[in-house]
Structure 1
Amino acid sequence: KIDLDKAASRGVLQDWEGKWISGYNRCLGKCLVFYAELWRILDGLNIMLSRNFENVLIQIDSMEAKRLLMIVSCHPRIVH
């Protein structure tokens, strides 16, 4: 039986020319799509921090996640 109730988080990191740098994924089990989107952002940011990236652009599909990030973003390096 295929379990369709499980969520996953996955993303791709690209350079400024759109060339692939890295991909990542995480099995989340049962969770809301909103939380899966936040996990995707967090995992991507953690990879970028570990590689000492200084300037990043995050592209997300979830307006709800975007609103949350806009509310909590107070770091001077964050561009909206």
Structure 2
Amino acid sequence: MLEFGHASSSGVIRDDTRQWRMGFSRKIGICPIVEAELWGAYDGLRQAWSMGIRNVVLKMDN
């Protein structure tokens, strides 16, 4: 059974020396937790791609 609630997503992009490059966040609204996690992954990968970063390690905490 899916649980719905008010959701947002956020993340950080770090370089290969673990230095902060940028942060991002999105207010999603009411959705299942898995959808919020997928929005966070999408936004992070989209931002990394726009910065020219092609070699990515994606970590999620939920």
What range describes the TM-score normalised by the shorter chain of this pair? 0.7 to 0.9
Q: Distance in 1 between matches of 2:10 and 2:61?
A: 13
Secondary structure at the aligned position of 1:30 is classed as strand
> Which structure: larger Rg?
1
What stretches of structure 1 of length at least 5 have no aligned partner? 63-80
Structure 2 residue runs without a partner (length 5+): none
For residues 21-60 of structure 1, give each alpha carbon's deviation from its aligned partner in whole angstroms, at most 9, with x where no partner exists: 0000000000111000000000001101111112110011
Q: Which has the higher contact order (CA 8 A, sep 6+)?
A: 2
Structure 1 residues 48-59: aligned runs within 5 Å? 48-59=48-59
Give the TM-score normalised by the residue count of structure 2.
Answer: 0.86
Aligned length: 58
Distance in 2 of aligned mates of 1:36 and 1:60: 11
Query: 2:46 aligns to what?
Result: 46
Deviation at 1:16, TM superposition (A): 1.1
Question: In structure 2, what is the Cα distance between the partners aligned to 1:54 and 1:27?
Answer: 26
Query: Does residue 1:33 correspond to 2:46, yes or no?
Result: no
Give the structure with the higher percent strand. 2
> Aligned partners of 2:30 and 2:54: how far apart in 1?
33
Percent of aligned pairs sharing the same letter:
36
Runs of 4+ in structure 1 deviating by more than 2 angstroms, as ranges, are none
Question: Counterparts of 1:59 and 1:49 in 2: how far apart (Å)?
Answer: 16
